[in-house]
Amino acid sequence: MPNQVRWAIIGTGDVSAMIAPDFALARNATVTAVCSRALDTAETFADRFAIPRRYDNLGLLLDDAEIDAVYIATPHGTHHSLAMTALAAGKHVMVEKPMATSSAQVRDILGYARGRGLLAMQAMWSDFSPMAALLKQLLDSDAIGAVTSVQASFGLPFPRSTGSRWNAALGGSTLLDQGIYPVALALSVLGRPDHIRARGRVTANGIDLAEHITFEYKDGRYAQLAASMVDFVEPSATINGTTGWVSLPAPFWVADRLELRSGGFPQALMNSRPRSVTVEGHGFVPMIRAASEAILEQRTEHPLHDAARTLAVFAALDEIRSQLPPGTAVLG
């Protein structure tokens, strides 16, 4: 088998510009093509990152036998159709989060990929980060005792000029764009909740601008989560336990350090132990390496972000959105 996966990038926005150089650092991946709606945009992007093939036609890109997999980084509302089209053409897919806009669409993508023996993975790169591994190690070793709660938020007032997040037709949603990180963290630490309670602000055409969420568990554990694209909600996270807590500083989803306080009361108040990790490139390298490894091993999913994990996140997102009635906010 070849020792490198040949990737194409679909979309030339800010995220694509950050991930493109990280493919080379993964060593088992290379970017051979890029596709944009306008050829001059594709040319400019390709020249910037030394990508040999440039397309403004998705069909032509998917006909290219020199491409094994595609990374989809277009507006949320296009993810499902693009992923299904790419899979139908026999290409593996990695889709920028959110993978789609609903559980039903995600099941569509994952089921179709599995049936064709192809990898379909959400690009939830934080699941593959060294920080995620460190956090799991600390929690598994009972560094803070039994975990009792999670607090996590991602609230930043994004300007109206920042693209598709303000466009309902393209899947604009602070929950899908930002809230997915606090939700995924809570689920990874606490598991599926017994009850979800959510409130928020939603425009008449269905764009959720902000929400605050509570996960409740029958044994008393809970998570308090929030997201906003119209105001600040400190973008940090804390995992609390019976003998201490772990703090991830803002912005928590890209943190390269944490603070561990443990030992019970009052020791935890006075006993701060910072820990740090090394980030490769822009942070996408471990995810690219893992996805490419799965493809080379002919797997349809990766255990760090498998189908069950992805669907659990989207089941929670669906329930949260169902509790946010439209018309509670007006865009100025």
Handedness of CA 285, 286, 287, 291 (dihedral sign): positive
Residues 282-300 have pLDDT tens digits of 999 999 999 999 999 999 9
Same domain, residue pair 92 and 185: no
- 55: which strand partners? 35
Pull the structure tokens for residue 318. 């669906």
Name which of 105, 116, 79 is nearest 94 in CA terms.
79
Same domain, residue pair 120 and 131: no
- C-beta separation of 183 from 153 below 8 A: no
Residues 106-156 have pLDDT tens digits of 999 999 999 999 999 999 999 999 999 999 999 999 999 999 999 999 999
Tell whether 306 is covered by a domain.
no
Same domain, residue pair 167 and 100: no
pLDDT at 332: 56
Tell whether 330 is covered by a domain.
no
Same domain, residue pair 318 and 265: yes
Same domain, residue pair 99 and 155: no
- Range of the structural domain that residue 36 is part of: 5-125
- C-beta separation of 121 from 301 below 8 A: yes
This prediction has a pTM of 0.95
Task: Find the radius of gyration of the CA atoms of the chain.
Answer: 20
The H helix count followed by the E strand count for the chain is 11, 14
Name which of 254, 258, 295 is nearest 118 in CA terms.
295
Tell me the average pLDDT across 245-269: 95
Q: Which domain CATH number covers 252? A: 3.30.360.10
Tell whether 42 is covered by a domain.
yes
Same domain, residue pair 254 and 134: yes
Res 162 pLDDT > 80 = no
pLDDT at 1: 45
Tell whether 296 is covered by a domain.
no
pLDDT at 160: 84
pLDDT at 138: 97
Q: Which domain CATH number covers 44? A: 3.40.50.720
Q: What is the residue-averaged pLDDT of the chain?
A: 95
Residues 181-233 have pLDDT tens digits of 999 999 999 999 999 999 999 999 899 999 999 999 999 999 999 999 999 99
Rounded to whole angstroms, the Cα distance separating 9 from 294 reads 18
Res 177 pLDDT > 60 = yes
Residues 66-93 have pLDDT tens digits of 999 999 999 999 999 999 999 999 999 9
Q: What is the largest CA-CA distance in the chain?
A: 64
